Structure 1
Amino acid sequence: MSTVLFVYAKGGPPLGYALSRVAARSAVHLLALSTLPPTAAPVAERLCASVLSPAGTERDDLVSLIVTRAEAVGADAIVTFSEYAVVAVAEASAKLGLAGAGGRSPLARDKRLMRRTWMQRGISQPQFRPVADEQELRDAAAALHLPVLLKSAWSAGSTAHQIIRSADEMPAAWHRANAVMAESAELGYAELHVAGAGGDFLVEEIVQGTADGWFEQSGWGDYVSVEGVVADGEFRPVCLSGRMPTVAPFTERAGITPVPLPDDTQRRIVALARDAVDALGLENCGTHTEIKLGADGRMWVIETAARFGGAMTVPQTEEVFGLDLIGMLVDQLLGRPVAWPAQVLTSQEARGAAGSLVVLAVDAAGDAWPDRRFWDFPTVRDAALLSAGSRLSVVAENSLPDGAPVPVYDAAAGANTMAALCLLSAADPATVLHDFQALVHALPKILPLAGATEARS
C-alpha cells in the first residue's frame, strides 16, 4: 500500500474531510504544523498511522523537517492543502524526487512574483507595485491611480487589505497592515517557510468590477473562481464557482458552486485562467484562480494558488459534481491514472448546487450589526429561513462554539473575524444565493443578544 505524508496547517478544506479522502487512497501519516481542531483530532487518531506535532525549534528549517519525516515514514507522496505550507511541501517533494507543485511554486504564492510573471506575459491584471516600506508605498501610489489597494504578498483570506484613497491615509494603512499580519501570525495564519514574509507587501490599482451584464439574477458578486488542477504540467479546469459581493474592503462572504453563466462565457473565463496558470509553470497540484469581471466583457486575473480553494470549495465540488478532488490529486501524485474532466463542468452536469457562507457581523450593505450577538447554530437552523428542499449545516471545524460572542467585524483582519462557516445545499445556484441573502438579513435579528438570559455561556 502507498504511503502519503499529510502536512497540516491552517487553511484549506476541513481537516477531517481531507484526511478521510487521503486515507481512502493510501496509508497516511500526519505532520501537524498547527494545533489540530478539536473536532478533527479524533478523526486523525483513527485514520492516521502516526500524528507528529513538531516542537517550535524543529520548524526553523521546515523543508528539512518535512523531508526527514517523509523519509522516516517511507512516503510515496506529500500533500498539503494549506496556503501557508505549499512552498515548503513543494520544495521537500522536489528534494525527494516526488511529484509535487514543482520549483516554480513560489510564483503561485508570492503575489509580487505572480504579478510580475503575468505582466511579462501580457496577462490582464490590475496595475501594481511591490512595496517594502512606507516611502515605497507613497512612491507606488503616486505612480498608480488612487484609490489603491495595499495587500500582503503572502496573506490569504483578504487579510491585511487596506484601501487607500488619499496620501493622508498612508501612514495609518501601512501601520495597520503590518499589525494585522503580526496578529495573523499569532493565530497561525501566516507563511510557514519564508522568513519575514509578513513584511512583504504590494499595492495595486482597484479595477472597476461589475456583475451587470454577466448574471441574469441580481445579487451576485463581480468575480468568480476557476477550480482546477495541474497534472503533469497541464492545466485541467474542473468547474467555476460564483460569489456574493465581498464585504469592504474585499472579504469574501460566500462561494457558490456551480456558477450560473452561459457555457461560452465560462469558456472565455477558463481561457484567461489557463493563461494565468500556464505562465507559472506548475507541475502537479490543485489550483484556485480568481477572475474579476468588468463592464463590456472585460476580465482581470486577481490571483491564483497552487492548491485547491479553501473553506468548503472542495466539498462543494464533490457534492455537486461527484468528484473527490483530494483523492484524485493523491492518485495523481502517486502516479496512478486519473480521469480528470475533459472540459470544464457546468450546470448541465451538476447535481443541484452548494455554497458556503462566512458569518460576519455585518449586514448586506457591509454595515456593522447594531448590537452584539452570540453565535448559535440551532437558532439559525430552526428559524425556517430557507427555501423548500434546502439543507443547512455548520462546519464545526471552522466555527465558534454555540454561545460564543460573534466577533466585531474588522475590515483589515478580514476572515479572521468570522464567527462561523455554514454549508448549504439546494436545487440550483439561484436558490443558494436567495437563501444566503435571507440568512444575512436575518442573522442580526434572530441570534441571541449578548447578555441575554437565553444565550448559552
Structure 2
Amino acid sequence: MSQSQNISSLARRLLLLAPHNSYRIAPYLQAAAELGVEVTIASAGKHSLVSAISEGLHIDFNDPDAAIALLHSVHLATPFDAVMGSDDHSVELASQVAEALGLPHNPPGAAAIARRKDKARACLQSAGVRVPAHFQLDLHHSLAGQINAVRYPCVLKPLAMSASRGVIRVDDEEGLLKAAARIETLLRDTKDEEEGRYVLVEDYIEGLEVAYEGMLDKGLLQQLALFDKPDALQGPYFEETYYITPSRHEIALQQAAHETVAAACQAYGLQQGPVHAELRMDAEGKLWVMEVAARTIGGECARLVELATGQRLETLVIAQALGQVIPQKEFSGGAGVLMIPIPKAGILRRVEGTLAAQAVEGIEELVISVREGHELVPVPDGASYLGFIYAVAEDAPQAEQALRAAHAKLTIVTAPLFGIEDRRDARS
C-alpha cells in the first residue's frame, strides 16, 4: 500500500498553525498533498498572495484566547484529526489549540518551556541536564550593577529568537555593553514584555556541535538523524554553515546525544511531535544542551533529513500526528547541506560561479534564496541565508568536501546600502 493510500483512505484533516511568511508552509502542503491529507492553515495572513493562507482561517497569534475560540468552533462543525505548528512562532499556540480540541498534543507548559531559552535553561538545570551557567540581564535597568560577576568569554542571546539571531559572544565588559545595546535594538518590536526586556547571558562552551532530529510519540523519542557541524562555531556570531550526515563521532557519543535529548524532552514534559536539538561537546567529551525545540529543523535543511531517512521530514511529521507509521529507508552514503553564509550587509547584485559550483562532483542542487536587488542582513541582525547547497556522496567526508569545493566557486557581489537621511529637523 502506498503512502498516499495509507493516509487518504482515512480521510484525515490537518490544522496547521503558521505565520503568514513561514517558509515551512510549502513543504507541509506538498507532503500533505502526497499523503492525501486535507490541510487548513490558520495564520494572520488575511491578505496573503498564497491562496492556502488567504483562504484559510485568520487568527491573531497575540490573542490566543480568541484564536482558540475560533478554531474550536470550526472544529465542532468540521472536525480536525491533528493540530500542528510550523515553527517556533506557532508551536505553543498549536499545543493550546490541540488541548482545547481534545487532540494529541504536547502540554502547553512544555511547549512554552521549549520555546523560551530562559525557561528551558532553568528547567534543564533543575533536572540535572548539563547546560551552561546563565543568568538574565534586565535591559530596562542600568547594567553596571548586573554584570559584576560575569565570566568571560560569555554569550548573550534573546529569550525567544531563533536562527542565531541576536546571539553574540563577548570577551570583555566593553563588548558586553555593546552587544546588549545591539540586541535591545532587535527587541524593540517584540510584543511580549519579558522577551523585550530581558537578555540571557551564559558561559561560552568551547567545542564542536552536533544537531539532532527526532520524533516523540507518547513520550518515546525516536532518532531520525544526527548531523555533524564540522566547523567550530566560535563567534562572535553563530551563523550555521555545514551539516553533514551520518555523524562521524564515536558511537558512544552518538548514543549520549540521543540520551541527552531524551532527558531534556522528559524534563520539559514534551510528549508528541518533532524535536530539533543542538548539542555542544567540550574538550572532555561532555555534551551541553544549546537548544531542544519542539519543532523540526528550520529552513531548507529539512531536505537533508530526507536524504538520511529516505522520507520527506514533513511526511514523517504529518503521518506521526495522524497516528500512522511511515517506514524509513536505510541510508548507506553521505550527505550534507551548506547554508550559504551572507558575507556582508548590502544589496545583492548577483551570485557568480553557480554553474561551476553545480558542476562539482557530488553536488545535488544549489538554491539561491535571495533575489537580486534584495537587502542582505547577516547574523546577528538577520535570520536568513543566501541559499543552500546540497551534496550526496559515497560517505560523509566526500559530501563535506564537495560542499566546500562548490562554495569556493561562488562569488557574492553586493552593493552598499545607502539610507535616506531625514533632513526635516535640520531645516527647522
TM-score normalised to the size of structure 2? 0.82
Flag the 1:8–1:375 CA change in 2: closer, same or farther, 3 A: farther
Q: Confirm or deny: 8 A CA contact 2:213 2:223 kept in the other structure.
A: yes
Matched, 1:7 2:17: yes
Shift, 1:78, TM fit: 1.0
Q: Confirm or deny: 8 A CA contact 1:288 1:307 kept in the other structure.
A: yes
Counterpart in 2 of 1:361? 342
Distance 2:150 2:68 in 1: 38
Query: Matches of residues 222-371 of structure 1 in structure 2 within 5 Å?
Result: 222-245=208-231, 246=233, 248-334=236-322, 336-338=323-325, 349-362=330-343
Flag the 1:14–1:427 CA change in 2: closer, same or farther, 3 A: farther
Flag the 1:110–1:168 CA change in 2: closer, same or farther, 3 A: same
Q: Secondary structure at the match of 2:336?
A: strand
Distance 1:253 1:166 in 2: 26
Distance 2:180 2:41 in 1: 38
Distance 2:107 2:296 in 1: 16
Counterpart in 2 of 1:217? none
Flag the 1:352–1:81 CA change in 2: closer, same or farther, 3 A: farther
Query: Matches of residues 45-444 of structure 1 in structure 2 within 5 Å?
Result: 50-54=55-59, 61-71=66-76, 73-103=78-108, 104-133=110-139, 135=141, 138=144, 141-182=147-188, 197-209=195-207, 222-245=208-231, 246=233, 248-334=236-322, 336-338=323-325, 349-362=330-343, 374-376=349-351, 379-384=352-357, 387-394=360-367, 399-401=369-371, 403-404=372-373, 407=376, 409=378, 411-416=379-384, 418-444=385-411
Counterpart in 2 of 1:218? none
Shift, 1:290, TM fit: 0.8
Provide Cα deviations, 1:274-302, integer angstroms capped at 9, x if missing partner.
22222111111210111101113122111
Distance 1:173 1:404 in 2: 29
Distance 1:232 1:63 in 2: 23
Distance 1:253 1:240 in 2: 15
Identical-pair percentage = 21
Structure number with higher relative contact order (C-alpha < 8 Å, ≥ 6 residues apart)? 1
Distance 1:439 1:130 in 2: 41
Flag the 1:170–1:66 CA change in 2: closer, same or farther, 3 A: farther
Distance 1:59 1:112 in 2: 22
Distance 1:64 1:200 in 2: 31
Letter of the structure 1 residue corresponding to residue 356 of structure 2: A
Letter of the structure 1 residue corresponding to residue 370 of structure 2: L
Shift, 1:268, TM fit: 2.0
Q: Confirm or deny: 8 A CA contact 2:18 2:89 kept in the other structure.
A: no
Counterpart in 2 of 1:219? none
Distance 2:74 2:153 in 1: 47
Task: Provide the alpha-carbon RMSD of the alignment.
Answer: 3.3
Distance 2:311 2:270 in 1: 22
Moved more, 53-62 or 168-177: 53-62
Flag the 1:361–1:3 CA change in 2: closer, same or farther, 3 A: closer
TM-score normalised to the size of structure 1? 0.77
Q: Secondary structure at the match of 2:376?
A: coil
Q: Secondary structure at the match of 2:274?
A: strand
Distance 2:347 2:401 in 1: 25
In structure 1, runs of 5+ residues without a counterpart are 186-190, 210-221, 363-367, 452-457
Q: Secondary structure at the match of 1:358?
A: strand
Shift, 1:260, TM fit: 2.3
Q: Secondary structure at the match of 1:412?
A: coil
Shift, 1:265, TM fit: 2.5
Q: Secondary structure at the match of 1:287?
A: strand
Q: Confirm or deny: 8 A CA contact 1:13 1:311 kept in the other structure.
A: yes
Distance 1:20 1:230 in 2: 22
Flag the 1:408–1:90 CA change in 2: closer, same or farther, 3 A: closer
Provide Cα deviations, 1:13-40, integer angstroms capped at 9, x if missing partner.
64222212123252111123358997xx
Q: Secondary structure at the match of 2:405?
A: helix
Provide Cα deviations, 1:331-373, integer angstroms capped at 9, x if missing partner.
3333x342677xxx9xxx32433333222233xxxxx59x975
- Write 1 or 2 for the structure with the bigger share of strand: 2
